[in-house]
Structure 1
């Protein structure tokens, strides 16, 4: 009996979608070569590394930061890893930190890399061209390892295709299909002064049914609504009937236990809940398939054709076909990047730019980006607000290179909701653990949260205030930063109310609250400057066993804050910078230094 091939597992972690794009390309190429493929994000992957050798043949990991910390490195060194073949696409701006860490862990388990790492920056569009030769090397190496499962080339391969199919997990993911709860907005409060150039909001939600028992430091995901006018325009542009009923079945990438609905659903409702038609830019495969097979109505086998765009197959206007052919060519790569990603064109806008393209709905439903939940750090304590959860949200807006106004789908949707007029609107929500574990009341805390990074720490302060009622809790030292005291001092009254003598932020109790206003003086002042001003207090708390929590922007802030801690330790302990850095790394290993950063 012919041996069945084990699956090729491709894991990715992504924030911008670039790693997901690369993973999908790898998956499609593997599938064309006859290999069963499972494509999955690392935060949704259930198996531990020690289980891979019994279920899978190959592990390929193209990854970005994403929720990488959910992936475990605690696998015992005795684990058998002989059947795991690791080929890691490393695409990090921060010195390839996460990929290096995984690479080292697999090496510790006795795993030899299949081929040399590709130290390329596929997080930029220039680097994507470098992925092609690396992929060619990958398939040659896989063929040498297992010629039966991985043919050397595509010459002898024939494939039958019924319709377009996404490689990515289905619209109804196994752990996201059913919300943990539904929320009703009861408060929408601006935290910044009107006209200051930034719009940060405080949102309060009530649980519609029973409350979820979340903890401080947890993360809330909400599914945003879409503009009804945009949904109507998309349906009209695609010549669809909004009232027609469709049935969704689990795809080949989903298990039989998938929670995908098997009852008819209105097409309009399906588009509203699953297809991001007016916010996300189409991924690369929406324009281009590396090798695409020409569809026809017969059931015979199809032969590979030249590189073609999905749109080109359905465009009837010659000038549109020529433009799509150019976008699909190597010469048109940069122009496609400028047209699509840089300008953040939406699916609806692209379809409107190519009016002769008429794509079947079964193609659209697989190629349109999935409407995703948005994750926010919870800014409340359930102990202080038993039936509520609060969020602190920056309403995202920007201007493209061609001066087109863009806004964040979820943040703008939330900002436009009026609690008085949307009483019947129930928001699907999911809760999960973040990277900031809830501290016990006896643990001193050093918190650094500039901008909206202060959001989780509002919950920390509320929680500790409740704990302080039943027994004196440990102090909190909080550093906050913003541009101007008058414009964007988020939660000013709240922080100051907890800073007096008996408050958990009071200096008299060993804590404190210090603010850096970066634009209120000629020379900019940031949180790291305020930290250095209070280095002795910080060092005293570290010696008392304090844990450090840092939250906010993932640009320079986390590294600048860590550099400030190194300076403080070096100065107060009288040791070298190298020794101070070693101490910080030990704090990380001991679970006393936590960072939650977002882009």
Structure 2
């Protein structure tokens, strides 16, 4: 790299300075200037030298460094480029032509599932039908270029819906374009497409993104090659629904004249051990499957500065954690989310290494190379096998039935193969089996072959069939006004017992990871997993409680005007963002600002689970009549069972009146609770306001469009 050079072409210098020197020499003004003192002479000389320096900048000195941008590139961006990411245009039509692709598989994903489905579909399209399909992140192409895709190509959409019918972050460009073609009545008759949606029927707007996109394309005269289909994660059926849809897609290909062939396993990545020790440490923070954007911050290490238990008794834990932002550039706003990046527990890491028969190679350096230029690697390279399994793959998740069938070809014994085929070929039987048994890939392998390791199973198969490790999101329970450099999390520790003769428990990955790092005592009556802690400094010399996290912006915000009344409806840890809301309103009230009336609905099991009770009572003293708290206990001994949605229904007339008078309503908690609240308020609105069904819907949609009715919910 070069910042300064003295190599000068004198003839070029003379030609560049000649016009200026001629102007100076012939100027009558300069001819009459005669320095009368030494100071005047120095001033003239200084002027001429300054002029010379200015004219030669960027040519003789301070020449541009062609590699200057490297200083600002994120390492993971460089890595992704080195593994074959060759996108040179944002025009998808041109990209298909230049790359010789027959179709593009667009994915819109918040958790990574749609992306994995896209990669799987692309691989199988090529192996079974020879169809060269481009896997494409929707954010990497201009959505309007989709309209220019030629009829000899086709487009496949895999679109997820989350929250209250919201598109994933990387789908925003498509979402805006769809609105344009819908509102302006544009025609895109040459486009051929297929579409599959990922959603959860517990949510009110189940698979809304798929329906909005497909409806708009159909109205614009695009040709749907087959009816849209939906995956429902309410009962964990997304994998099965995708498999059913994929079978229909392959039937379509056969009807279109594509020849199908049976193929053996062909990897999309190669995994090779180098036989050498890894030089230096893998920077987990910069290598995770994460894309910084206007919505998501960079990943940063945060230290747990404070932790305490919120439940007064019982066999469950609910933690309050405070994370220090330190000197990082990360900022948050009240109502935002924090994404926690967990690691896998040591027991499950060992279980998978044992099943594969590679315990002795856990610390060996390996390289991972992609054989498909459009696919991203799930882990850095080079690295070690243990690092890949512990930090980059979802080894604790359930196994799809399709994976069971694919795994059978590598079974170490005929009996193991027969076991896998029996479950893989019978959907009902496999669903019964997984309902009462905690099945991960390693557990499945040990179940099918308890006495023999899977030596013939390629590591490439493991990497391909396991999801990339994803963050888990929590509503931030602190106020950025009160605590700008410290983030609070309210986390329930999940340990789900399974029915059946052999007791089994599914441990929530991230909640137990946080509990382990918090150093709080567990209230559970079952052994908990153990996790490897991350050191508190970058050099790994200080043991401590550092976790990796990033901030995700949210639209779940307080109104600008503090006098706006609030209706807050929550259950359990859904109270988290409302803790911050109350803190801000109490602070404004203390400063003499006008504060609107707040009605807080809070539901939980019993009085022992009444989280932040002391703080809420303090808020009541601070805010006086401006805060009313209405509780609902569903399992309180000696009391009538009441759920929060029932309490809202009892006060529906007051809630509706407050909404009509300009109040903002916020709902936070499980999607099923939010759907119940919506339904009961809509029924009440029809009754109290005398509205027909269509009028009630219009009333609700109007409130939501104006930001007066907001929800932050999860499955």
Please state which band the TM-score falls in when normalised by the shorter chain.
Answer: 0.7 to 0.9
CA contact (8 A) 1:139 1:152 kept: no
Residue 347 of structure 1: aligned partner: 441
| Aligned-partner Cα distance in 1 for 2:548–2:243 | 40
Assess, with a 3 A threshold, how the Cα gap between structure 1 residues 535 and 465 changes in structure 2: closer, same or farther.
same
**1:515-551, Cα deviation, whole Å (9 max, x unpaired):** 1222335532222333244345423431332222111
Say yes or no: does 1:445 pair with 2:556: no
Q: How does 1:20-419 map to 2 (within 5 A)?
A: 26-32=121-127, 33-39=129-135, 45-47=139-141, 49-54=143-148, 57-63=153-159, 65-66=161-162, 68-70=166-168, 71-72=171-172, 73-75=175-177, 76-77=180-181, 78=184, 81-89=188-196, 93=201, 96-98=206-208, 99-118=210-229, 135=246, 137-139=248-250, 141=252, 152-155=258-261, 161=266, 172-173=288-289, 175=291, 179-195=298-314, 197-210=315-328, 212-238=330-356, 239-240=358-359, 241-249=361-369, 252=372, 254=374, 261-262=380-381, 264-277=382-395, 279-288=396-405, 309-313=406-410, 315-328=411-424, 330=425, 332-340=426-434, 343-353=437-447, 354=449, 355-358=452-455, 359-402=457-500, 403-418=503-518
| Aligned-partner Cα distance in 2 for 1:563–1:45 | 35
CA contact (8 A) 2:194 2:228 kept: yes
Q: TM-score, normalised by structure 2?
A: 0.68
CA contact (8 A) 1:21 1:283 kept: no
Assess, with a 3 A threshold, how the Cα gap between structure 1 residues 445 and 311 changes in structure 2: closer, same or farther.
same
**Deviation of the 1:438 alpha carbon:** 4.5
CA contact (8 A) 1:400 1:406 kept: yes
Assess, with a 3 A threshold, how the Cα gap between structure 1 residues 130 and 426 changes in structure 2: closer, same or farther.
closer
Say yes or no: does 1:548 pair with 2:665: yes
Secondary structure of the corresponding residue to residue 446 of structure 1: strand
CA contact (8 A) 2:338 2:552 kept: yes
Assess, with a 3 A threshold, how the Cα gap between structure 1 residues 425 and 21 changes in structure 2: closer, same or farther.
same
**1:248-306, Cα deviation, whole Å (9 max, x unpaired):** 456636579x89745x32332232211233x2123344323xxxxxxxxxxxxxxxxxx
Assess, with a 3 A threshold, how the Cα gap between structure 1 residues 84 and 513 changes in structure 2: closer, same or farther.
farther
**Deviation of the 1:34 alpha carbon:** 2.8
**Deviation of the 1:21 alpha carbon:** 7.3
| Aligned-partner Cα distance in 2 for 1:209–1:413 | 24
| Aligned-partner Cα distance in 2 for 1:462–1:117 | 46
**Deviation of the 1:413 alpha carbon:** 1.7
5+ residue gaps in structure 2? 1-96, 272-285, 521-532, 536-542
Aligned length, in residue pairs: 553
Secondary structure of the corresponding residue to residue 224 of structure 2: coil
**1:326-347, Cα deviation, whole Å (9 max, x unpaired):** 334x3x3333334446523122
**1:481-534, Cα deviation, whole Å (9 max, x unpaired):** 11212x11111111121123x51xx43x4x522212223355322223332443
| Aligned-partner Cα distance in 2 for 1:3–1:436 | 42
The structure whose Rg is larger is: 2
CA contact (8 A) 1:446 1:546 kept: yes
| Aligned-partner Cα distance in 2 for 1:120–1:270 | 29
| Aligned-partner Cα distance in 1 for 2:576–2:330 | 19
Assess, with a 3 A threshold, how the Cα gap between structure 1 residues 162 and 376 changes in structure 2: closer, same or farther.
closer
**Deviation of the 1:454 alpha carbon:** 0.9
| Aligned-partner Cα distance in 2 for 1:537–1:490 | 26
| Aligned-partner Cα distance in 1 for 2:414–2:265 | 28
| Aligned-partner Cα distance in 2 for 1:579–1:158 | 56
Assess, with a 3 A threshold, how the Cα gap between structure 1 residues 186 and 22 changes in structure 2: closer, same or farther.
same
| Aligned-partner Cα distance in 2 for 1:165–1:66 | 34
Say yes or no: does 1:464 pair with 2:564: no
Larger relative helix fraction: 2
Across the aligned residues of Structure 1 and Structure 2, the Cα RMSD in angstroms comes to: 3.8
Secondary structure of the corresponding residue to residue 247 of structure 1: strand
**1:294-323, Cα deviation, whole Å (9 max, x unpaired):** xxxxxxxxxxxxxxx33423x332211222
Secondary structure of the corresponding residue to residue 579 of structure 2: helix
Assess, with a 3 A threshold, how the Cα gap between structure 1 residues 55 and 115 changes in structure 2: closer, same or farther.
closer
Residue 603 of structure 2: aligned partner: 481
Residue 713 of structure 2: aligned partner: 597
Residue 46 of structure 2: aligned partner: none
| Aligned-partner Cα distance in 1 for 2:628–2:135 | 48
Assess, with a 3 A threshold, how the Cα gap between structure 1 residues 55 and 34 changes in structure 2: closer, same or farther.
same
**1:58-112, Cα deviation, whole Å (9 max, x unpaired):** 3333455436433443321256644543323356535855133333233344434
**Deviation of the 1:234 alpha carbon:** 3.1
5+ residue gaps in structure 1? 289-308
